[in-house]
Amino acid sequence: MGLESIEKLDRRWLFLLMGLLVLGPLIAPIGLPLTVSVPVQGFFDTVAKVPDGSTVLMSCDYDPASRPELVPMTKTAMHQLMDKNCKVVVTVLWPGGPGIVDQTLREVMRESYPAKKYGVDWVNLGYKAGNEAVMVVMGQGIANAFPEDYTSQSTTDYTKLPIMRGVRDYSSFPLLVNISAGYPGTKEWVQQVQSRFHLPMVSGCTAVSAPEYYPYLQSGQLQGLLGGMAGAAEYEKAYGHGLKGAATKGMDAQSLAHVFVAICILLGNVVQITRRPGGAA
């Protein structure tokens, strides 16, 4: 197979190869090694340092399109917070998010923490339109921005949602955990909340948006960062407890796919170089 045949290769063969490379390790895992990077360790350590029993704000700003990357890190973060007996107040700023976020959190609570109760140990305030405006209004009072939770219970009715009794504004939380797929997300939380209210913050985001948030990590505005599926898998490893979530299971396939893309780029460049005047072909 010469360079000419590579040049004329039907791209559907590449799709097929990519599909097989991803499918193979999902059926028969290889178990490639995984190390926890500094930003992920920062995320884990920051959550670990939160005083036991405190109330943490968790904003899950994504929709089903980001499920493979963000749902695993949402689950692990919920595990880590629940292990510390923290109370979790969840908000969603993406219109397509409330359903998948509620399903994910209820799954974690049902399977791992059946004794913990909705409204007492955690609450899902659901979706609110307004992006940055919602973040600013939350600074004046969480209940102002979210008068009702996802199940249409009043957030000022403390008999049904006792968790909200101790929640006033951002000063009620020692930490903001943001799981973000784009706009509105980590960037907006840093701009409107972290810098203005000085609320310590960690972020888990899609891989495609991770490079944009590294400057915030370097400046200390973010205490930790999980970038995409790799970040989620490393976080699962840092958390331990034998947790092998969807992210860890997908990392073999992820690694093989990356090697394949790198080989394709190299071959493509070789073909391009040899086509130049004075090149080999």
3-state secondary structure of 205: strand
C-alpha–C-alpha distance, residues 281 and 276, integer Å: 8
Please spell the DSSP secondary structure of 74-110, one letter per residue.
HHHHHHHHHHTT-EEEEEE-STT-HHHHHHHHHHHHH
CB of 1 to other proteins, least distance (A): 22
Q: Which position has the token pair 């995320």?
A: 43
The distance of closest approach from Cβ of residue 53 to other proteins in the complex, given in angstroms and rounded to an integer, is 30
Nearer to other proteins, 129 or 280 (CB): 129
Closer to other proteins by Cβ: residue 71 or 82: 71
CB of 91 to other proteins, least distance (A): 12
Residue numbers at the binding site for other proteins (CB under 8 A): 12, 15, 18-19, 22-23, 26-27, 65, 67-69, 95-96, 126-129, 132-133, 136, 147-148, 188, 190-192, 194-196, 206-208, 210-211, 215-216, 218-221, 227-230, 246, 249-250, 253-254, 257-258, 261
Other C-beta atoms within 10 Å of 256: how many? 18
Structure tokens at 108: 């974690």
3-state DSSP assignment of residue 60: strand
Backbone angles phi, psi at 146, to 5 degrees: -125, 80
For other proteins, which is the closer residue by CB, 218 or 274? Answer: 218
Shortest separation between residue 159's beta carbon and other proteins, angstroms: 19
Instruction: Give dist(CA 89, CA 94) in Å, integer.
Output: 16
User: Smallest gap, in angstroms, from Cβ of residue 266 to other proteins?
Assistant: 13
Token readout for 128 is 């609110």
Q: Which is nearer to other proteins, 8 or 11 (CB)?
A: 11
Nearer to other proteins, 141 or 174 (CB): 141
Minimum CB distance to other proteins smaller for 121 or for 252? 252
For residue 197, the one-letter residue type is: F
Beta carbon of residue 235, minimum distance to other proteins (angstroms, whole number): 14
3-state secondary structure 166-178: HCCCHHHCCCEEE
Q: Residue 48 to residues 227, 239, 255: CA-CA distances in angstroms?
A: 19, 10, 29
**Least distance to other proteins from the beta carbon of 93, Å?**
11
Nearer to other proteins, 68 or 174 (CB): 68
Are 169 and 139 within 8 A, CB to CB?
yes
